[in-house]
Structure formats: structure tokens, C-alpha cells
Structure 1
């Protein structure tokens, strides 16, 4: 008996609100994949707190009450055993609400799939109270299926949390039609183009990116493109001082616009120190276009890149990034790494591969 319906709980974009970030992107894609399999999806959106004034906080709490009521209602009046409850927990203080949600659905004989996507899952667990850790373990024990975005979570859940279950490595994927079909080339007469796209913050390494470019510019015909939104006006004004004809700073762009820039770019630089880093969609999307990644060993970067680029320590400076990129260029490694990067996405992080693994997993564990 295969699942015919999914009740999906999480932060989910809709026509009323377009959300950015790994959680929202992954949830949207998961729902699309269920629908492709002709599985009915009921999406119950987590409430979002847009402003921290008293009125918004009261409305936010009211929305959580209504959210919980909807879940209880669907739990009680949906008796089909072919229904799967797919939840992408937020952890932190949400874990207590999420545990009781899972418990309610479990009591009505629904199968639970807990989809762990937080980049700081292990840190949250280790740094929190015994009560918090108890609820994490109980939530996982109630789950028939467990999927993890980071490969390091698989051993952690089995060994440290004593969950002797079949756990699926379920990374974010690149859509098959978003992988560049043509083989890349490196033309000597054209500038080497480095690109970063995503949120522009200090923890994402914007100053390391800018200073690396300044060092590389002393030796190579090189261009840097930075795309994204800033988290503060002061940072925006400061970063924009660096802009010139070879250092272009752009606001957020559509996927098709980014793809047109990726097609002519050579390196994706990502020196992130962000504490909650998980799997970067920008990283896999860049590799799918044959860009050689030069990244920090943060989040799941090392797992994604493997031997298809350069992974530097979190302590690496702009001099280290400059040296890494210089070596790739000077040793004529770019074409080899470019093809390896694209093939790694095709073999491990493409739509077809990841989705096929997912549905094989839930069907064999019915």
C-alpha cells in the first residue's frame, strides 16, 4: 500500500508570501515532487512572525493556536492509513510544539516522516537542556521515517541518539533542467569571473570575498560579481564602496538571470562562517553550471564539494582563498575540476537521483 496523501507541516511559500532560504525552498520542492507522483498534498503552513510589536505577537500566537487546531482536526477526521505526515521541524523552542503535533498524528495511526534540515541541529542538541534533548529523542522515536539533509546527521542520530532506524540522506537537489548540458571551456582572452550569490552578510564572508578579489586582481585579468540582498543599510553602503567596472554588485536576481551569469563564470566563492549554515542551494546550483567551488568547511559544504573544488578551514583568510584560486588557475586544474563539479551534481544532487532515492525509501519502509 503506497501513500496516497501527505499532510505537510513546515515553512512553506505560497502565492501570498514568497519566502527565501533553505527551509522554504526545500519544502516547496518536496511538495512539487509529491504532486508529480499523483499524491494529494495538504500543506499546513507554520505561522511567521513578521514584526515584534505587541499586536503582531498576539496575532502570531493566535495563528499558532489555529495551526494546532487544524492539525488536530485533520488528525481526527482523516482516517486513511495511506496518509503520511511530513514535518520539517524548526527545533529550538518549537520542538515542544512539534513533538505534540507528531504525537497527535501518531495517536491517529499516521506514519510520520521527520525531515531534518537545520544546519545547527547537532549544536542545538548538545547545547540545550536535558528536557530539550528528551523531546528531540522522543520526536524521532515516534517517526517511522527519518530523512536528513546533512550526511553527518545520519551517524549522529544512530549512534548518539540511539535511533536504530533506516535513515535517508536527503539533500536539496538541483532541477535536472538547471544543469548546464554543454561542457565548459576556459578562454585565455576572457577575464576569469568569480561569483557569489545569496544573502550578503558579514557571516557569509562578504569582506573575505572582496579582499580575495583585490589580491587576485594584482595577478590576473579577473572580474567579481556579487548578487543578493543586504541585512543592513550600513553594510550595503560600505560594500558598495568597493564597486567598480570589474567588481559588480547586483540586487537579487531571478534564477534565469543568475544562470546567464553562471554560464560565463568560473569560480563560486563561499567563505561562510554563518553559525546555522546547512546545505547551500547556491553552491549546488553553481556546481551544476561547472563552476569550481572554493568554500569554507562550514555546514555541509565539505560533503557537497568533496574533491571537486577547494574546501578551506573556517579560519582561512583572504590570502588563503587567493592562494587556492591561484593554484587552480596556474596548475591548469580548472577544466578538470569544472567537469568533476558538474558530474558530482548530476550523480548525487540532481532532481531525478534525489527524488528517486526518496520515493524508493518511503515505499520500502511502508
Structure 2
């Protein structure tokens, strides 16, 4: 009999919700299917309201989310009934509404006597847990104790789960692998030659606390103060967040972004894309000298875009935040404080003045990726835990 897994998470089929978590979920689903396992997908990313994607604010409750979760639950029950013996792999959430949905799925899975593997992306679970009243903390603990194994992205996150029973054995740390196939034989360390146009890449959802405003300010500094010939790509969807201070919502942030481009005279320097996928994304990484993500986002964990950057030899300029130091170190990139556009600009200028050191960092990044973060290494670990 063919092995079956009910996989609960967000796929990349709904491109409006493509992020690191959905890319990792899609990688796991596709890889397990290639190993001959039948996957029944319960997709968080699909909404009954087609325009909801433009109205969601990360961290906020909405009636549409609640309604979507209601229908997902019935779909999940149908999958349990129709697929006796199927194991359950579920991406968990670090928000109250998301947890309630997860808890229903986990308890239903155990009611049907199934093995349940939870997988938490992001590294804000401790803050989520500590912000809850005592009675709700007990529910969180009992729910996670019900899982057979619980996967997190690194030891930083594992230590956040110390409230889980026997967490040292129950919670397993597996750093992310790159969710896309890259022909490493074609990736060569990058160089900065005299008179090169310096190319910068920001690739992530444009959420204020991910630092994209700091990147834009750094581009302004490089252009106006250092007079450097450069091109900067911003790729990602504008999203609102409950912690925003500069703009009230995603639409306002997008308008302000383009107003700033005009104000700073960067219209010919900055390119914006709502998303870059497949070949176009690969080309952006191939042609970029630096990848910049000065994030302090509350739900940040181990950003997949940083893995992509080092795989392609881009030198990352990032914050020393959450699980980012799993991928970046002083040999392959730079750390800067949050909200420090001057520091970002200074690191880039230093590399232009020290091209051999830049080349070493690029090479070290590629080597570090190939030794630690390939998709094959990652999927083997996930497959062994589920099986």
C-alpha cells in the first residue's frame, strides 16, 4: 500500500502568499512526492475571498481568516476519514488564531490515532507564549505535548520551547535547506571590478521591520554621498504589520515608497517587482553583488532568502538577529545594527575599496552553503522524522 501523508501548510501555488515558509513547505511536499509518498494537501494560503490577499495585515484577526479556517477544518476531517493510517505533517503558527486552528488539527489527528509531526517556522514563539494568560498557556503546552515530534529551525528556537514536556527530545532542531535546485557547478565567487555597476538586492516581503526603508536610505547615501554607480532591486509584496510606524497600511507604504524614489532622484537606480520567481529570481541573485536584509521583524526565523544569497555568492549585509547567524558569519558577510542605513552604505563602500576581501566572502558563502544547507541534506532529515 502506498504511503500517505496529510500535509497542512501554505503552498506556493497561491503566489500572493509566497514567502520563506511557503517555499519550504512546497519543497517538502514536492520532495516527498518524488520519494513515492502520496501527499494530501490542506492549504492555508487559499482564501474563499479572492481579494483578501490585498487586505490582510500580519498579526491581525479577521473574519475572513476565521471563515477560511472553518472550511479548512472540514476539508481536513474529510482527508482523515478518506485516508486511514495517513501520517500528519503540519506547519504551526505563532499567533493566537493560527494556534487555535493548529490545536484543532492536532487534536483531531490524535483522535484518529495518527502520528502528528509539527513544524514551526519563525522564531517568535516564546514571545507569543509569554504574552498569553496562564489558562491559555496551559492549552498551548498540552497541545504541543500531543505532537509526536516538533521541528524548529535552530537551537535558538528550540530553547524557546522549553515549556514543552521533555523538550530536549521532543523538539528537534533542523536548520532550513534551500528550497530550489541550483546547479552549483555554475556558481562562481563574485568579483567587483573597476567601473562595475554595483548591484544590490532586497528580496523579501516589504514589511517595515524587515528593514526595506533602511535599504532605500542606504541606496540614497551611496548615490548622493559616495557617488557610486549602482542598481538596486526591491522584490516582494508590500504588507502591513501591527508594529508599523511609518505607514498605516500596505497601500500607503507602497505610495510612500515611490514618492521617496522621486524625492531622492532614484527612479533610474531602483527597480521594484512585486515578486521574482524561477529564472528571473535566479538572474537577480546571479547579477547582484550584495543581498541586504536588515531585519528585526517579530516573526523572523531563518530567512530562506539569506540561504539563496550565499548559495549564489552574494555577500549578505544583515542584522545579527534570531537564526540569521546560522547562515551568515564574519567570513561570508556583514552584520549591521537595525535601523542603520549609514552602516549598510559603509560596508558596501568598504568592499569596493577592498575587492579581494569581497571576493573571499563570496567564495566562503558558497562553500558554507554547499556544506550545510542543500535541499538534499534537509529533506533527508525531515523524511526520517516523519517516517
Q: CA deviation at 1:35?
A: 0.4
Provide the C-alpha distance between the structure 2 equivalents of 1:259 and 1:352, rounded to a whole number of angstroms. Answer: 19
Which of 122, 128, 143 matches 1:124? 128
Provide the C-alpha distance between the structure 2 equivalents of 1:26 and 1:160, rounded to a whole number of angstroms. Answer: 24
1:70-81 matches, cutoff 5 A: 70-80=75-85
Provide the C-alpha distance between the structure 2 equivalents of 1:260 and 1:13, rounded to a whole number of angstroms. Answer: 20
2:348 aligned residue: 325
Provide the C-alpha distance between the structure 2 equivalents of 1:161 and 1:243, rounded to a whole number of angstroms. Answer: 56
Q: Which consecutive aligned stretches of 4+ in structure 1 deviate over 4 angstroms post-superposition? A: 57-63, 158-162
Describe the SS at the equivalent of 2:89: strand
1:154 aligned residue: 158
Counterparts in 2 of 1:165 and 1:246: CA distance versus 1, 3 Å: same
Which deviates further from its counterpart, 272-281 or 160-169? 160-169
Describe the SS at the equivalent of 1:263: helix
1:144-293 matches, cutoff 5 A: 144-158=148-162, 162-166=166-170, 167-177=172-182, 179=184, 180-217=186-223, 218-219=225-226, 221-228=228-235, 229-230=237-238, 231-232=250-251, 233-241=254-262, 242-244=264-266, 247-252=269-274, 253-293=276-316
Q: CA deviation at 1:194?
A: 2.0
1:39-188 matches, cutoff 5 A: 39-46=37-44, 48=47, 50-51=51-52, 61-80=66-85, 83-91=86-94, 92-158=96-162, 162-166=166-170, 167-177=172-182, 179=184, 180-188=186-194
Q: Is the 8 A contact 1:31 1:41 kept in 2?
A: yes
Per-residue Cα deviation, 1:287-337 (whole angstroms, up to 9, x for no partner): 2110110111234222221332112233x5222222333334434310111
Counterparts in 2 of 1:140 and 1:154: CA distance versus 1, 3 Å: same
Does 2:310 correspond to 1:304?
no
Provide the C-alpha distance between the structure 2 equivalents of 1:245 and 1:124, rounded to a whole number of angstroms. Answer: 40
Describe the SS at the equivalent of 2:87: strand
Counterparts in 2 of 1:169 and 1:3: CA distance versus 1, 3 Å: farther
Q: What is the count of residue pairs matched by the alignment?
A: 355
Provide the C-alpha distance between the structure 1 equivalents of 2:230 and 2:324, rounded to a whole number of angstroms. Answer: 24
Counterparts in 2 of 1:235 and 1:277: CA distance versus 1, 3 Å: farther
Q: Is the 8 A contact 1:3 1:39 kept in 2?
A: yes
Provide the C-alpha distance between the structure 1 equivalents of 2:114 and 2:173, rounded to a whole number of angstroms. Answer: 19
Q: CA deviation at 1:220?
A: 6.1
Q: Is the 8 A contact 2:215 2:292 kept in 1?
A: yes
Counterparts in 2 of 1:77 and 1:305: CA distance versus 1, 3 Å: same
Q: Is the 8 A contact 2:145 2:165 kept in 1?
A: no
Provide the C-alpha distance between the structure 2 equivalents of 1:18 and 1:31, rounded to a whole number of angstroms. Answer: 19
Q: Is the 8 A contact 1:84 1:110 kept in 2?
A: yes
Counterparts in 2 of 1:240 and 1:200: CA distance versus 1, 3 Å: farther
Structure 2: gaps of 5 or more residues? 57-61, 239-249
Describe the SS at the equivalent of 2:140: helix
TM-score normalised according to structure 2 size? 0.81
Does 2:368 correspond to 1:347?
no
Q: CA deviation at 1:240?
A: 2.6
Provide the C-alpha distance between the structure 2 equivalents of 1:106 and 1:268, rounded to a whole number of angstroms. Answer: 43
Q: Is the 8 A contact 2:122 2:302 kept in 1?
A: no
Q: Is the 8 A contact 2:2 2:36 kept in 1?
A: no
Counterparts in 2 of 1:194 and 1:63: CA distance versus 1, 3 Å: closer
Counterparts in 2 of 1:226 and 1:77: CA distance versus 1, 3 Å: closer
Which deviates further from its counterpart, 113-122 or 64-73? 64-73
Counterparts in 2 of 1:327 and 1:151: CA distance versus 1, 3 Å: farther
Q: Is the 8 A contact 1:222 1:246 kept in 2?
A: no
